[in-house]
Amino acid sequence: MDFNGSSPFPEGVISFLDTDLYKLTMQCAVLKYFPQVPVTYSFKNRTPEKKLSRAAFKWLQLQINKLGNIALSNEELRFLQNTCTYLDKPYLDFLKDFRLNPREQIVASFLPTSDTGSDEDLGEIDIEIKGLWVETILYEIPLLALTSEAYFRFMDTDWTYDGQEEKAYDKGMRLLKAGCVVSEFGTRRRRDYHTQALVIRGLIKAKKEGEKTGLPGTISGTSNVHLAMRFGIPPVGTVAHEWFMGVAAITGDYSTATYKALSYWVGCFGEGVLGIALTDTFGTPAFLKAFAQPVPDLTTITPGAQPSTEPRGEEKPRKTFAEIFTGIRQDSGDPANFVKMMREFYDEQNIKEQKTIVFSDSLNIDLCLEYKEVSEKAGFRPTFGVGTFFTNDFVHKSTGKKSVPLNIVIKLSSANGNPAIKISDNIGKNTGDKATVEKVKKSLGYVEREWELGDESSRWGKEGEPEKK
């Protein structure tokens, strides 16, 4: 399929695969362990000054309803079977017949600031999702992408696609020359699908040029499964906070939730598969206590059961999660402090193997280069999941000044009737029921942290700033 600036891809979301890989892998694990668990999700706009018009909301509502028409194609099924071999047959059989039901599972509301009934009225939007976890888990990424597309289709329209492919190529070349290993992670806050396609085409051009000229870095893939299929590059991903949040809410025991979430993950995919662990759902120090524990007997990993860590008979001591996982992902807080903490942890565990750190928190080129230097000095192999900096980096056509992305999130808010929360390594990313947040902080001994670069309202700059190269 060809993409070019003069013929944009059809609007909206048209495929289950137009999502991040980890939504499919998590859905696979949910189907295996928690197929009957009901959940809710909530929406938050961290840039509340960016409002939608009623006309934009009407378009968004139409696109949400269209999600119910999506079905997995034979081509997509074959791609998953051949490329994502960790997705088992029961899951692929499920996905083959699966349909979303947005009319029953999603309530989207428009809350006008001043209601005149006009399509020009501005207001906040609210999105609530409710249903079985296995049926609703695929909504998050499309809804965020659609909300961003609605804003830049109706509200901030002073921009064009011109130069997007070339800009992505230039960024890719700078990163490759610096020796960075980079993946594209930009689906959820992209300007639209066409922008993301142009970006990936530019990155692939840089990848080919880098291979031809022997540059030390590499473009390793994209988190967007549909674009990976279309462009013939690897789909890549780790796991999301949602997995840990859901398991914790279901069990209600935050002291063992991370251990159980890791156990279920390994039980679903096996040791050494999808082996990057996300550390900050309840703070990295709490995560590391679980990460240092032995991997349980995989046959005991069943819903409602506490997986055993005791060796059987003359069996050798089991490896720990820290040993079998190839690395970790840093997604909040101060990366330099994180690298120091992880170096101390692996040294204490007497783990000599070089581990990977995937950085994924609001990256740009300068930050990639900074974190690369810090992590390599500490003996790690750094890689970078670059998102919004790739897929929503625009300027206003009339002024040449920055056109700022929305900072929007959809988070799991309850599972099995219990509140679902996240207390990350940066206070600005904490989400969920406040009473539960405070209770869990106290029970885990969580230490509140702020980071000078952690202002969630301006992670990608401010409106009207000069464009950053």
How confident is the model over 41-91, as pLDDT tens digits?
999 999 999 999 999 999 999 999 999 999 999 999 999 999 999 999 999
| Confidence (pLDDT) at 455 | 57
Q: Are 108 and 196 in a shared domain?
A: no
Rg, the chain, Cα only = 22
Quick one: which H or E segment has residue 75?
helix 74-83
30 and 145: one domain? yes
Q: What is the mean pLDDT of residues 114-142?
A: 97
User: DSSP code of 199?
Assistant: H
Task: Give the number of C-alpha atoms closer than 13 A to the C-alpha of residue 397, restricted to the C-beta side.
Answer: 9
Beta strands in 101-174 (DSSP E): 106-112, 122-132
Average pLDDT over residues 188-205: 97
Same domain, 192 and 150: no
Q: Is 180 within the bounds of a domain? A: yes
Which residue blocks in 423-469 are alpha helix, DSSP H?
Answer: 434-444
Please tell me the predicted confidence (pLDDT) of residue 4: 40
pTM of this structure: 0.93
If asked whether residues 232 and 365 sit together in one domain, one would say yes
Phi, psi of 184, rounded to the nearest 5 degrees: -90, 125
Distance of CA 41 to the CA centre of its chain: 15
Query: Is residue 181 situated within a structural domain?
Result: yes
- Contact indicator for 218, 181 with CB cutoff of 8 Å: yes
Confidence of residue 425 (pLDDT cuts 50, 70, 90): confident
92 in the same domain as 193: no
In Å, how far from its chain's centre is CA 408? 12
Burial of 22 (0-12, 13-18, 19+ CB in 10 A): buried
Angle at 167 between CA 163 and CA 168, to 5 degrees: 120
- Structural domain count of the chain: 2
At 148, which amino acid appears? S
Quickly state the pLDDT bin for 427 (edges 50, 70, 90). confident
Same-domain pairing of 248 and 125: no
Note whether 141 and 197 are same-domain residues. Answer: no
Q: Looking up tokens 């269209």, which residue turns up?
A: 66
Percent of the chain with pLDDT over 90: 83
Q: Do 269 and 374 lie in a common domain?
A: yes
State the pairing for strand pair 356-359/327-330: parallel
The answer on pLDDT for 284 being more than 90 is yes
pLDDT per residue over 335-387, tens digit each? 999 999 999 999 999 999 999 999 999 999 999 999 999 999 999 999 999 99
- Asked if the structure places residue 345 within a domain, the reply is yes
* Residue where a domain stops, chosen among 157, 191, 206: 157
Q: Is residue 267 part of a domain?
A: yes
Is residue 383 classed as helix, strand or coil in its secondary structure? strand
Is residue 455 situated within a structural domain?
no
Give the pLDDT score at 459.
57
Residues 214 and 354 in one domain: yes
User: Which 3 state secondary structure label does DSSP give 450?
Assistant: coil
Looking at residue 81, its amino acid is: Q
Quick check: is 350 in a domain? yes
Amino acid code (one letter) for 15? S
Residue ranges making up the domain that contains 50:
21-157
Amino acid sitting at position 195? T
Q: Is residue 52 within 8 Å of 151, Cβ to Cβ?
A: yes
Q: What is the pLDDT of residues 210-222, one digit of tens each?
A: 999 999 999 999 9
Q: What is the mean pLDDT of residues 242-264?
A: 96
Report the C-alpha gap between 116 and 425 in whole angstroms. 43
Cα 98 from Cα 87, distance rounded (Å):
15
The answer to whether residues 60 and 264 touch, using CB atoms and an 8 Å cutoff, is no
Q: Name the residue with higher pLDDT: 127 or 6.
A: 127
pLDDT digits (tens, 9 = 90+) for 10-46: 799 999 999 999 999 999 999 999 999 999 999 999 9
What distance in Å separates the CA atoms of residue 187 and residue 164, rounded to the nearest whole number?
A: 15
What's the distance, CA 360 to chain centroid?
9
If asked whether residues 112 and 190 sit together in one domain, one would say no
In a domain, 272, yes or no: yes
Cβ neighbour number for residue 103 with a 10 Å cutoff: 11
**Residue 49, pLDDT score:** 95
Provide the mean pLDDT of the chain: 92
